[in-house]
Amino acid sequence: MRGAIFFSGKYGSTEQYAKWIGEATGLPVFDIKDTNADPSKYEFLILGSSILYFRLTIRKWAKANLAKLEGRSKILFSVSGAGASAKLNRWVKASLPSGLLSQIEHVPLRGKLDHSKVSWWLRKILWVGSLFNPDPQARKDERGGFDYMDKSSIEPIIKMIQRYQATQGAT
């Protein structure tokens, strides 16, 4: 039984987590933009996706590859500014078909936002968005950027993967 990591990100945090998980487990890592990234070659899948504008960025790829994703064990790690919360669960739920979601173990991770890496107009959009955010810390994060990258937060994912790999050893 073989597994692989497929990630979708834009500014590097999701890729960094995917690489850390790959280094810790020996699983191959694919950017979903890579046309050779074929989930049907693997028995268990680790899907990594950033959250932009309240949605998983992997959602279109997941829908396009639905048949290849079904029937395989799957972990999803999301990478966002928001931490584990009901609103994050709502964004994930709104991004994926319910049948697929019911087969997934979701682990929320937190990323980073470096304002020097985004365009001035995007900074403006984030600033305007922050006016409507009721959470004072999230408002501050949207306006000034943040860095919540934490290598140790991948530990639960490593344990889940080791469980899959142990099952493989037993068969």
Ligand X SMILES: Cc1cc2nc3c(=O)[nH]c(=O)nc-3n(C[C@H](O)[C@H](O)[C@H](O)COP(=O)(O)O)c2cc1C
Could you say whether residue 11 binds ligand X (CB under 6 A)?
Answer: yes
CB 117 within 8 A of CB 11: yes
Q: Does 118 bind ligand X (CB under 6 A)?
A: yes
Closer residue to ligand X, CB minimum distance, 3 or 9: 9
Which tokens hold the place of 126?
A: 């984030």
**Shortest gap between Cβ of 169 and ligand X (angstroms)?**
32
Our finding on whether 12 is near ligand X (CB under 6 A) is: yes
13 or 73: CB nearest ligand X:
13
Q: Where does residue 121 rank: exposed (0-12), middle (13-18), buried (19+ CB within 10 A)?
A: exposed
Q: Tell me the per-residue interface mask from 49 to 88 with ligand X, x by CB under 6 A, - otherwise.
A: -xxxxx------------------------xxxx------
95 binds ligand X, rule: CB under 6 A: no
- Residues in the interface with ligand X (CB under 6 A) total 20
CB 86 within 8 A of CB 56: no
Q: Candidates 6-14, 29-37, 98-106, 153-161: pick the segment binding ligand X (CB under 6 A).
A: 6-14
Return the exposure string of 25-54: e unless at least 16 CB atoms fall within 10 Å of the residue's CB, then b: bebebbebeeeebebeebebbbbbbbbeee
- DSSP, res 47: E
CB 49 within 8 A of CB 78: yes
Residues near ligand X (CB under 6 A) = 9-14, 50-54, 79-82, 111-113, 118, 122
